Amino acid sequence: MTTSPSTNAPLLQIRGLHAYYGQSHVLHGVNIQVHAGETVSLLGRNGAGKTTLLRSIMGAHVRREGEIRFRDVDLLSLPMHRIPRLGIGYVPEERGIFSSLNVSENLMLPPSFHEGGLSVEEIYHLFPNLKGRGNTSGTRLSGGEQQMLAIGRVLRTGARFILLDEPTEGLAPVVVEEIALAIGELKRKGFTVLLVEQNFDVAAAVSDRFYVLEKGRVVDELRSEELSSRRASLEQALGV
């Protein structure tokens, strides 16, 4: 039986989140919700705090105050290494491919933190460009292939809630399209995705809902159905 996501308790609930780098106060009382199976995009200009919001969920590099609950777990009370065990996977903007390892090794290296990790064959199905490249070292992959590998590696861990930070940044249009198709495929497979994406067309194509951040605050929230009527003002706000 399928139920509307909006009738269920959110998978991720963030309330009144403040985040700091040292003395620098970057998030100012952020509230967001993500329901199981949704793809939600964080939009905003450079420096708005999108990456900081993802890092806050992972407990990485940033001091947090407020509430972040995943299912019924209070993430602020957990050490960073416990977060992946909840089935949360983070693909940072810098991708973090092990350049001295080949594609297969990069895929085989991550531990399985949670049941339901994709097999290597399933990852090759999702990213056909990686198929047959198993012996290619990380350094010899294109930017797009590295991005695919970084996402694939996280999917191996059993993560079902995936945080993607600007997965299409700097990639050629044809590769951007492949990444967008893969995100759509993850949604069809029941994954939940929280996406930071500067490419508005990609965000628009894959997302159910959007939050707009400005200077560390959520200033707007909309659903995909509202996108066409709001697009002009949104693009102006985002400077795209």
Using CB under 6 A, which residues numbered 182 to 211 contact ligand ATP?
none
Q: What element of type H or E holds 65?
A: strand 63-70
Q: Which long-range contacts (CB under 8 A, 24 or more apart) does 80-88 make?
A: 83/57, 83/58, 83/59, 84/113, 84/114, 84/157, 84/159, 85/113, 85/114, 86/114, 86/161, 87/113, 87/114, 87/116, 87/158, 87/159, 87/160, 87/161, 88/57, 88/58, 88/159, 88/161, 88/163
- Give the 3-state secondary structure of residue 156: helix
Q: Identify which range of 48-56, 75-83, 180-188, 229-237 contacts ligand ATP by CB under 6 A.
A: 48-56
CB of residue 140 vs ligand ATP: minimum separation in angstroms? 27
Among 16, 47, 128, 132, binds ligand ATP (CB under 6 A): 47
Of 54 and 148, which CB lies nearer to ligand ATP in the complex structure? Answer: 54
Question: At which residue do the structure tokens 């399928």 appear?
Answer: 2
Q: Does 170 bind ligand ATP (CB under 6 A)?
A: no
Length of the chain equals 240
Q: Confirm or reject binding of residue 26 to ligand ATP (CB under 6 A).
A: yes
Binding ligand ATP (rule: CB under 6 A), the pick from 48, 141, 182, 234 is 48
Q: Which stretch binds ligand ATP (CB under 6 A): 3-11, 19-27, 71-79, 113-121?
A: 19-27
23 binds ligand ATP (CB under 6 A): no
What is the Cα–Cα distance from 146 to 95, expressed in whole angstroms? Answer: 7
What is the SS3 assignment for 9? coil
Site for ligand ATP in 59-118 (CB under 6 A): 61
**Quick one: which of 32, 38, 50, 164 contacts ligand ATP (CB under 6 A)?**
50
Closest to 39 in 3D by CA, of 190, 233, 212: 190
Scanning 43-51, 119-127, 139-147, 232-240 for contacts with ligand ATP by CB under 6 A, the matching segment is 43-51
Q: Residue 35, interface with ligand ATP (CB under 6 A)?
A: no
Nearer to ligand ATP among residue 26 and residue 30 (C-beta): 26
Residues in touch with ligand ATP (CB under 6 A): 21, 24, 26, 44, 46-52, 61
